[in-house]
Structure 1
Amino acid sequence: MLKNNIVKTVLRLFLGILVIITSAVLLILLFTEVVEVKNIQVMKWLPILICAIGFYFAGLINKITKFIFTLFLLTSLLFFILLDMLHFPFFFLIGFISVLSILSTRKELSKNIRISSLTLILVIFVGYLLSQPFIIKNKGYGTDMTGINLYNATVLWDFTTKPSRTLPKEFFKDYDENEVRFGDFKGKTIYVSFWATWCGPCMQQKPHLENLKQQLKDYTDIVFIDVSIDTDLEKWKNYLLSNEQVGHQLISQNIAKTHSNYQFSGIPYHIVIDSMGNFKQIAGPHALGYDSDLLSDSKRLTDFMNTPYKVFKINNIAGKDTIIRVR
């Protein structure tokens, strides 16, 4: 009898974990392939939504399982870490949301406690949902040479008050594994490229990037930093030994945190940081001299940092593209 109960408990827990992971896969596919939300990988509301739904149904499956055993369901959060969707300290919030979802299914708790748990989850979810831009990529989506202005996109909301963002206090490692942060170069204009040795488009951009560095080598107030998001430290080091690179070479210590801090999902990705410590996405070194002119002209850079992005719609009429400003 005891053995049968143990087997049933293990099966319920396993089924609960399967439900959580399945919920994650389905919701990720929904927002990446069907709705096509821009930068979905760094949307903090997504793991909150996934855990709220997944752990709620996993809790229902395990409502007769002892509560202390249901905490084993939290091991499914490792799946999110593998997807680079969680980082510390955000990981603790997701764990808290997951526990609240389980509590909301426990019949031994009062109705008020269960409702309060669900209400708190809803408040946290809505807060994060509205804190980040919600932009949907339509057919023909793209960006202009600045990398900022959008074509064929729908902005459901964006409550961002400043075009640029304040620099996060994140530490990276250099070749000798010393900790370095962008703030160490305060007062300089910093051009940052996020890349990886396994990224084909990054490799294609490398010659353009090195050319840009050469164009601006006499500007002592401009600093170039390449940040790798490789998971294999030795592979990154071997690449640097075989390929001489100008500028500071760093590697991320926490890829999910880097993605979240600088709001990007894919690479290559480039940002410019002004002397005040504000940063903004920039197109990249392939933009036919745009970046070099922007970096070397302080007034132009200031204007760029303070200019909000625009959204345009491209209509193809009689084989010709017509651009219409929509935001």
Structure 2
Amino acid sequence: MKFIKKNIVNGLFIALLLVIVFVPDAKALLIRGLMEIGLYSPSIAEFPKAAMDLSGIKFQDAKGNAIDLGNLKGKVIFLNFWATWCPPCRAEMPSINKLYQKFKDDKNVVFIFADADGDLEKSVKFMTNRKYEMPVFKVTSTIPDQIFSGALPTTVIFDKQGRLSFRHEGIANYADKKIVDFLNKLKVSD
């Protein structure tokens, strides 16, 4: 009898591991749980205050509206590169959505969620199905490596002068008070 119980427990454990490995939403749920207990807290480090030329870095939404980062001088820019198939991206989405909800009516902060799938329609559908309101864009120009080098998820924040103020590759909890305070500080600083 002990041998059968042991086999059942081992079988269930292996099945759980396989689900976590092969089902993106299951892996995202596990990562999200780790975020909730305090892992993946973003680190706000000081960046050199050199302005970048953001002109020509372009994105387009599903309605065809184009946005050029160079035209957003005077606004704080929160730019997140993500993909629907990426479990860490899926895991951090609820925290980014909470952050977006806090600032969505603030004209001094712009949020851009750049689809790395290359399938804007799929990404918009993903957001809609999960009831996220975040604006999804496709990349329509080249992106400098200091902004995005291919790691998903990647989040960058520019201050009002177009200076790179935050860059993080990998998952982070963006609902963290440190990020909210950081965005508020960037809004009022010159």
Work out whether the TM-score is over 0.5. Answer: yes
Distance 1:229 1:213 in 2: 19
The C-alpha deviation readout for 1:37-80, integer Å capped at 9, x for no partner, is: xxxxxxxxxxxxxxxxxxxxxxxxxxxxxxxxxxxxxxxxxxxx
Trace 1:172-251 onto structure 2 (pairs within 5 A): 172-217=59-104, 219-251=106-138
> Given the superposition, is the C-alpha separation of residues 205 and 274 from structure 1 closer, same or farther in structure 2, using an over 3 Å criterion?
same
Letter in 2 for 1:145: P
Match of 2:151 in 1: 266
- Alpha carbons 2:75, 2:187 under 8 Å: kept: no
- 1:227, distance to aligned residue in structure 2 (A): 1.0
Match of 2:28 in 1: none
Q: 1:291 aligns with which of 161, 165, 179?
A: 179
Letter in 1 for 2:143: T
- Alpha carbons 1:163, 1:280 under 8 Å: kept: no
- Alpha carbons 2:80, 2:114 under 8 Å: kept: yes
Instruction: Between the two structures, name the one with larger relative contact order (CA 8 Å, sep ≥ 6).
Output: 2
Distance 1:182 1:169 in 2: 7
Secondary structure of 1:260's counterpart equals coil
Gaps of 5+ in 2: 1-39
Gaps of 5+ in 1: 1-142, 150-159, 303-327
Match of 2:163 in 1: 278
Match of 2:43 in 1: 146
- 1:144, distance to aligned residue in structure 2 (A): 8.1
Secondary structure of 2:143's counterpart equals helix
> What RMSD, in angstroms, separates the aligned Cα atoms of the two structures?
3.2
- Alpha carbons 1:171, 1:179 under 8 Å: kept: yes
- 1:297, distance to aligned residue in structure 2 (A): 1.6
Letter in 1 for 2:92: Q
Aligned length: 148
> Given the superposition, is the C-alpha separation of residues 244 and 164 from structure 1 closer, same or farther in structure 2, using an over 3 Å criterion?
farther
Secondary structure of 1:173's counterpart equals strand
Secondary structure of 1:282's counterpart equals strand
Match of 1:33 in 2: none
Judging by fraction of residues, say which structure has more helix. Answer: 1
Instruction: Mark the structure with the bigger radius of gyration.
Output: 1
